[in-house]
Every structure is written in structure tokens, then in C-alpha cells.
Amino acid sequence: MLNVNKSGDTVMKKNVLRVVIAVVVVIFTFSTGLWVGISFDSFKGYLLKIKQNNTSEIKPIEEAIDLISGNSLVKKSKDELLKAAIEGILSVLDDKHTEYFTAEEYKKIMESYSGTMSGIGVVVTLDDEGQVVVVRILPDTPASRAGIMEGDIITEVDGIDIEDMALEKIVAMIQGKEGTKVNLKIYRPEDEDIIEVTITRARFDVPNLVSEILEEDIGHIWYYAFQDGGAQQLDKEIQKLIEDGAKGLILDLRNNPGGVLDDAVEVCDLFLDEGIIVTTRERMEDKEIIGKYSAREGKYTEIPLVILINEFSASASELVAGALRDNKRAILVGERSYGKGVVQVLYELSDGSGIKFTTAKYFLPLGSFIDGVGINPDVLVKLEPDATEDVQLNRAIEKINTLISEIE
């Protein structure tokens, strides 16, 4: 199935080709919010052309695998050697986002598109030191019942040290069928304690957002991840909040991992009636291709808007926050965001395995490239680990009240 994006380009929606724009994953049966539907038909065509061309250029690899598998003193299967060859090719890219996935791992990643999930129910990310940090626990899930807490650091999965392991691989290890068990070793910085816990995986529905009315006229919306159809849900929620008396909105993107690019664009579209949302620059057959996503007429272009971000607001979250600020449509409150401005493509190989590597960069409307830098908020508010109240939300409430008073 093919969709059309804002600039009129054709967007692929097949499992064999996906684009990655997030750095945070959810441990269900999937890596939620990870894959972005961007215009990569040209890339698919390029890959197909490679397959159809004469294979003489890769013949030496096949010869080497045949010779080694049949004659090496160290016995290795052809599958093991093929995996090593692919990983070797990816390693020369010097790209921290490249990864090879076995067929089993790739299948688990592709299961991410189910609306009902099976797993333990936590959101994790990598911190600056490469540690796997829990940034959200979904209510009424195995993780919440097991006492997992935000800020916990996962160090082992089923007795395997996960240091320096790709986040997707860690997620694949924790994923599993309903009713099966996973053993985790966790370091809890708050108590300087090591915890070992066995959790039974279960199936559950994952909410994309939750909302509430604060101080009678402020709509507060937690937007968990950017997914297909998320903007439509957000639209309905905003309409309900306005009907309930909301005169201003706080869009909470803290700990939001990012996700589907089209959804991020559509969220921006709700609040904009014109202007550039994002520009992408990709490399294809040694040519630079520039794509632009432009805003259409939005439904909520006048209502005051504050966006909350923190160090775990990543990728598509940063795109939305940055685009709305660059278009003078929102004020950002909180802490500097994660900083990911590159795009990866995920491609399924003929044996069911998959590879991921960087193919593009994205730029905010005013031209800034945020990779490794992040976005600084307009109002800096740090939230200390031992805080007893949400000072960031409190500051956002103050700011939105000021904006409301200015239009009344």
C-alpha cells in the first residue's frame, strides 16, 4: 500500500522497507515508535536494481564462504559466515546506528505494528553512557506489578550482560510470547541497589495518549509516541478538552521516543496553517535528494500552546517541538532534548534477516541540524530525581496561563 506525503511524494508502507527516526523503544513485542514512513521508493528501486544486476561483484564473498565453511579448521556454518560478512560490511560505515538483525530479531521488530502488545510494559532508552534506562512504566502491566521504577537501569537479560549491545537487540531479548518469563538484573541508582526480578510477559493495550483538565481551563496531553493514526487521536482529544473548557494546551513530549514521521508532520499540521515543517536530505546513488514537508491549514492555529520536553524527548518529538517553535507557534519548557537528527532505513534481506543504516538527515524549518545537539527549551526547568512535585509541569502551567491572559 502506498500513501502520499505532504510534498506529494509517494510513501512506502511495506514491512520490507522502513525508516528509523527514533532512539527509544518500548519493550512489548516490538520497538514502538521506531519506524518512520518517509519517501524511500527510490531507495527500494535502487536495492532491486542491485539484485537484478550481474552478481560478479559479490562472487568473491560467496567463494570465500564456501571455502571457509568446507575447509577451515575452525568449523563455521555458512549462515554464521554470512552474518559475519554482513556485519563486516556495516562496520566500515563507522555509523553507530547500523545493525544487523537475525531473522528472528527482525520478525520481532516487524511485530511492532500490532495495536495489542505482549511483553512487560516499559519504555527504555540509552543514556549518555550507553546504559539502558527505564523512562516510563505503563500502568497495569507486568512491569508495574513487578515494581519496576522509572530511572532503573537494566544490566542483564536472562543472565546475559547487555553492555555495548544495540538497543533493538536488547528489546528482542526481552520480548516474547504471552505467559513466558524473562529474568532481568536491574541497578536502581536511587537506592544504589542491584535487583534481580523474573517477569511473566502478558498482552495488553497500549494507550497512545492520555489527557486531563488542569485549573479548569488548561488541557494537558501526554503524547507517548508518534504512531500511524496518532494525530487523528490527538485531534479528537483536543476537541474534547476544548468542549470541557480548555483555553490553552500543554503538549507533554517528555520521555517520548519519537516514531512515525508522517504522524509528527500531521501533529504539527493541527497547529499550523502554513510554513515548512521539516526538510530531509538523503543520499541515493551518490546524489543528494532534498524533500520538504509543508504545513496545510490546521484546526488549532490560535489556541495557546506550550510543549514540555526533556533529555529523553527524541527524534520525531524533537521535530515537532522544533518545528512548532520555529514557526512561532509554541513555547518550549523543560530541559534540552536528546538530539537525533538522522534517519535510518531498515531493509529485509532474502533470508528474513534485516539490516539498518543511516541514509538521511533532517533539518528544522530554520535550518538547524539537531543531531548530537538537541533542542534547548525557551524556559529551562530541571527536574531533579528526588523531586516531590513536577516543577516542569508547574512552570508550563504558569506559562500557558500567561499566554491565555494575553488573548482574553
Catalytic positions, written as ranges? 315, 326, 340
C-alpha 154, offset from chain centre: 19
Q: What are the DSSP calls for 47-87, one per residue?
A: HHHHHHS-GGGGHHHHHHHHHHHHH-SS---HHHHHHHHHH
Where on the phi/psi map is residue 285: left (φ > 0), alpha (ψ -120 to 50), or beta?
A: left
Strands 122-126 and 132-137: antiparallel
Neighbour count for residue 64 (Cβ, 10 Å): 12
- 8 by Cβ neighbours in 10 Å (0-12 / 13-18 / 19+) ranks as exposed
Residue type, 195: I
Phi and psi torsions of 218, nearest 5°: -120, 125
Phi and psi torsions of 370, nearest 5°: -95, 0
Residue environment code for 218-230, b if the CB has 16+ CB neighbours within 10 A, otherwise e: bbbbbbbbbbbeb
